[in-house]
Amino acid sequence: MLQQTDPNIISQHLHLSQNMNMTEGLQLARRAASEKTMPVYTRTVALTLLGKMGTAEDSGLLRNFLSDETVVGNFQLPNQQKGSTQVRDVALAMLVHMSGQSHKDYGFSFARDNQALFFNPYMLGFTTQENRTIALKKWDTYFTSKPVQKAKS
């Protein structure tokens, strides 16, 4: 896995690792998430793998993406409501998951209808910028009040 350089193959390995709960994919996920030249989708798939099976140190890596406004894509909910996903939304969703909190409490639209979408990068966004801002502030408040949750750098 680690010898792959093709982003499509890397994405496939990351999906396989996530679907099969293979911790062997974590090292690839750390590398893919950190490579600026990696396509945004591949990077966000890496973030979801880190969020699903990563360590406390990986939460530190995820926090590095909380200001990345790169658009991953757009989505439409069954109720016809539309939204968009940014890299920072994916990182936030994974941090919420890792900390054992509820995605619904953070206003993630996908969480209202289908928990199977928790690790789909395209669906981890918000229907409004206001909801995104509220969620990021909520995380900041949570994180700064829980110093034991911080990964050691």
Look at residue 120 and give its three-state secondary structure: coil
The yes-or-no verdict on residue 146 having pLDDT over 80 is no
Please report the pLDDT score of residue 150 as a whole number. 41
Look at residue 126 and give its three-state secondary structure: strand
Model pLDDT for residues 54-96, shown as the tens digit of each residue: 998 999 999 999 999 999 999 887 788 899 999 999 999 999 9
Q: What is the residue-wise DSSP string for 30-89?
A: HHHHH-TTS-HHHHHHHHHHHHHH--HHHHHHHHTTTT---EEEEEE-TTS-EEEEEHHH
Does a structural domain hold residue 67? yes
Percent of the chain's residues with pLDDT above 90: 63
Confidence of residue 114 (pLDDT cuts 50, 70, 90): low
Sign of the Cα torsion 22, 28, 31, 35 reads negative
Does a structural domain hold residue 132? yes
Please report the pLDDT score of residue 5 as a whole number. 79
The yes-or-no verdict on residue 138 having pLDDT over 90 is yes
Count of structural domains, the chain: 1
- Are 96 and 106 in contact, with CB atoms under 8 Å apart? yes
Does a structural domain hold residue 1? no
The yes-or-no verdict on residue 119 having pLDDT over 90 is no
Does a structural domain hold residue 16? yes
Does a structural domain hold residue 2? no
More confident call, 150 vs 78:
78
72 to 69, 80, 121, 150, 153: CA distances (angstroms): 9, 19, 7, 26, 28
Model pLDDT for residues 1-13, shown as the tens digit of each residue: 777 778 889 999 9
d(CA 151, CA 105): 23
Which single residue is written with the structure tokens 């991953």? 72
Please report the pLDDT score of residue 8 as a whole number. 86
Range of the domain at 139: 7-149
Confidence of residue 109 (pLDDT cuts 50, 70, 90): confident
Tokens of 133: 């801002």
Confidence of residue 136 (pLDDT cuts 50, 70, 90): very high
